[in-house]
Amino acid sequence: MERDLSPLDQLIAAADKALRTVFSNIPAAARPTPGAELPESVESGADRRHVAGLMRVNHAGEVAAQGLYQGQAATARLDGVRAAMEQAAAEETDHLAWCEARLAELGSRPSLLNPLWYAGSYAIGAAAGLAGDRWSLGFVAETERQVVSHLDEHLGRLPVDDERSRAILEQMKIDEEKHGAKASEFGGSELPAPIRGAMTLASKLMTRGAYWL
């Protein structure tokens, strides 16, 4: 039987998850890396730097997703919503592991700004949770919609023959679409246009920063 956690226990658990997400070695994925059996085709230095930049952005997005879902889980009011947020965070761990492994294959590294992405997303997620579960779920649905659009863009920017990276992004897209649909099914409210616009702007800032840093 699980015991109820005190506020201090919850704070320690949240800090532990943050440190593991941002500073630990490559996390263990529950599923095999998509495309791992395919041959490496990215050979030129310019292509490797470009693909690494794209995968670094995707990795940073997964770090942010961990912060977002953990922040929402910490302030969710209904047990079912809290469990859904925690399950989504667990599934996103696969994406985090796949992107980090691909970066290592390309001889590159994650974003140096990952602590910032995590902290900012955790704060946003916690604020969304405090606003109410319907708004929190609506935030998830809109976030996943924008992530899917972002993945489509990256799929178009990959070198044509980079099937290893493409397989990862295509599976990520399938998972993100599922998370967004589940949030809507749970009763997520559509966000006002100004909030959606602010989310798009924040996403663009993170994309540009993580590509280089």
Q: Which of 20-24, 58-62, 125-129, 150-154 has the lowest mean pLDDT?
A: 20-24
Q: What angle do CA 164, 69, 158 make, to 5 degrees?
A: 20
**Which pLDDT does position 130 carry in this prediction?**
82
Domain annotation covers residue 9: no
Would 37 be classed as within a structural domain? no
Q: Specify if 7 maps to a domain.
A: no
Specify the number of domains making up the chain: 1
Assign 166 a pLDDT band (cuts: 50, 70, 90). Answer: very high
Answer whether residue 16 is part of any domain.
no
Residue 88 lies in a domain: yes
Q: Which of 28-37, 38-47, 165-174, 183-192 has the lowest mean pLDDT?
A: 183-192
Find the helix packing angle between 7-23 and 45-75, rounded to 10°. Answer: 170
Domain range for 98: 43-212
| CATH code of the domain covering residue 188 | 1.20.1260.10
| Contact residues for 91 (Cβ-Cβ < 8 A; gap 6+) | 175, 179
Residue 85 belongs to a domain: yes
Q: Is 132 exposed, middle or buried (0-12, 13-18, 19+ CB in 10 A)?
A: middle
Q: Is residue 129 part of a domain?
A: yes
Residue 175 or residue 6, greater confidence: 175
Question: For the CA atoms of the chain, what is the radius of gyration?
Answer: 17
* 13 belongs to a structural domain: no
Q: How far apart are the first and last CA of the chain?
A: 44
The predicted structure's pLDDT at residue 82: 66
Residue 69 clears pLDDT 70, i.e. is over it? yes
